[in-house]
């Protein structure tokens, strides 16, 4: 078979795992694809290279394709999400100072109660709480805003959101630039290991099913390369399936640590992959449910309703027309291509391409092409429900 090269930009984070596994375990090669992974120094750089056609596809924060399509990030470019690469996996951490002040209010962290943590946060005596995120158009910022803005003590001036590159999050907390952060692994664990912060919540405690990273490509590239697109999606799907098999976790950690792509040691990779998070120095590891997963519960399906949820937030930030933004944003999550390209692989597909976001507190079997598909819980901590079809 002739090999075709596909270049893929990525940032060195644990959740780039599906791309690395697709390459290293030869799932891509099986599809006749030479998957070249090209490390990027920032999300901005990755975005610009994709928009200018210097790379074919990219590991992206789930809001990025929509923000680019709506012309709000870099040069306006139609970019689609072909599939979701990972669900959840972020952590929220506070500086040692802030943790102490929160504890003075009688709070103690159980790593699973967002409402109580927000109460302690607003009662900690800080006029403004400075929170680090990795990029302005990120799920991190959306989760933080959802979490904090529903609290009765929330005022917009009490929170300042600042973008800090993940590898510098720990330093920014230790030098007092930040009071807290929301970041993807390994950078939360790194801050704990350096003794400068403790983790108070996993992102999954705010929303149980938050699409974190997606596989992005420009609409032009997708239209011009249907066969490569098909092979790439198949390869990455098989990599995510492999990653979510519990028996493969130790080997996955080993492969990720050995490959030069993310350049992180074993101990930085293991907590996220094994969902064994040490929230503060000396504490026992905890296993938050649904911490980070790549394939289970139709994780890869790009739900139009997820896109709608993201689009609404971007529209609110940027002062765009809500209906127009949601309509265009929904079209970026290519559930049509997902069905078309992965059905032949035997992937079970949900009957609908949109769901009521936040409706499931427990796993639920729904009608699917092969009979029944189990959807994972997707509730928000405050019980919020987003029914986009009802709004149409």
Tallying the residues shown for the chain, one arrives at: 392
- Should residue 187 be labelled a site residue for another protein when binding is judged by CB under 8 A? no
Tokens 């449910």 appear where? 289
- Should residue 44 be labelled a site residue for another protein when binding is judged by CB under 8 A? yes
Question: Which segment (82-90, 128-136, 304-312, 358-366) binds another protein by CB under 8 A?
Answer: 128-136
In the β-sheet with 180-184, what is the strand arrangement from edge to edge?
159-163, 129-133, 180-184, 90-95, 197-202
Question: Which segment (134-142, 195-203, 240-248, 339-347) binds another protein by CB under 8 A?
Answer: 134-142
CB atoms within 10 A of CB 386: 18
- Should residue 161 be labelled a site residue for another protein when binding is judged by CB under 8 A? yes
Among 45, 281, 316, 374, binds another protein (CB under 8 A): 45
- Should residue 193 be labelled a site residue for another protein when binding is judged by CB under 8 A? no
Query: Per-residue x/- mask for another protein, residues 68 to 107, rule CB under 8 A?
Result: ----xxxx--------------------------------
- Nearer residue to another protein within complex by CB, 53 or 383: 53
Size of the site for another protein (CB under 8 A): 25
Among 42, 153, 224, 343, binds another protein (CB under 8 A): 42
Among 164, 182, 206, 308, binds another protein (CB under 8 A): 164
Q: To the nearest whole angstrom, how small is the minimum distance from the Cβ of residue 42 to another protein?
A: 5
Cα distance between residue 314 and residue 316, in whole Å: 5
Radius of gyration of the chain (CA): 20
Cα distance between residue 214 and residue 64, in whole Å: 9
Residue 43 burial by CB count (10 A; 0-12/13-18/19+): exposed, middle or buried? buried
E strands within 205-260?
211-218
Strands 4-10 and 371-375: unpaired
Cα distance between residue 170 and residue 180, in whole Å: 10
- Nearer residue to another protein within complex by CB, 52 or 385: 52
Which residue ranges make up the site for another protein (CB under 8 A)? 41-45, 48-49, 52, 54, 72-75, 134-136, 161-165, 167-168, 175, 177
């Amino acid at each position: 078979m002739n090999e075709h090269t596909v270049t893929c930009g990525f940032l060195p984070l644990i959740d780039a795992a599906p791309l690395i596994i697709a390459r290293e375990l030869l799932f891509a090669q099986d599809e006749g694809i030479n998957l070249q992974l090209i490390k990027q120094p920032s999300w901005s750089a990755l975005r610009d290279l994709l928009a200018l056609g210097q790379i074919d596809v990219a590991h992206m924060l789930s809001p990025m394709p929509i923000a680019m399509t709506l012309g709000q990030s870099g040069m306006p470019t139609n970019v689609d999400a072909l599939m979701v690469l990972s669900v959840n996996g972020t952590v929220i951490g506070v500086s040692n100072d802030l943790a102490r002040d929160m504890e003075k209010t009688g709070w103690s962290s159980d790593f699973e109660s967002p409402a109580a943590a927000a109460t302690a946060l607003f009662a900690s005596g800080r006029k403004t709480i400075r929170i680090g995120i990795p990029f302005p158009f990120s799920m991190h910022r959306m989760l933080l805003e959802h979490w904090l803005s529903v609290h009765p003590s929330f005022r917009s001036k009490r929170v300042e959101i600042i973008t800090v590159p993940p590898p510098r999050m720990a330093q920014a907390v230790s030098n007092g630039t930040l009071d807290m952060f929301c970041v993807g692994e390994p950078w939360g664990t790194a801050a704990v290991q350096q003794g400068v912060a403790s983790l108070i919540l996993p992102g999954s405690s705010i929303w149980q099913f938050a699409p974190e990273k997606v596989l992005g490509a420009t609409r032009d590239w997708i239209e011009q390369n249907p066969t490569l697109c098909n092979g790439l999606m198949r390869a990455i799907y098989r990599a995510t399936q492999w990653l979510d098999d519990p028996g493969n976790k130790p080997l996955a950690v080993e492969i990720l640590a050995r490959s030069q792509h993310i350049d992180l040691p074993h101990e930085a990779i293991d907590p996220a992959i094994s969902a064994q998070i040490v929230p503060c120095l000396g504490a026992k590891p905890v296993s938050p449910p649904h911490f980070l997963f790549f394939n289970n519960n139709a994780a890869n399906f790009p739900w139009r309703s997820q896109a709608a949820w993201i689009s609404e937030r971007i529209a609110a930030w940027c002062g765009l027309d809500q209906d127009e933004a949601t309509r265009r944003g929904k079209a970026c999550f290519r559930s049509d291509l997902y069905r078309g390209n992965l059905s032949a692989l035997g992937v079970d597909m949900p009957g609908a391409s949109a769901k009521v976001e936040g409706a499931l507190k427990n796993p639920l079997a729904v009608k699917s092409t092969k009979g029944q598909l189990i959807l994972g819980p997707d509730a928000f901590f405050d019980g919020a429900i987003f029914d986009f079809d009802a709004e149409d």
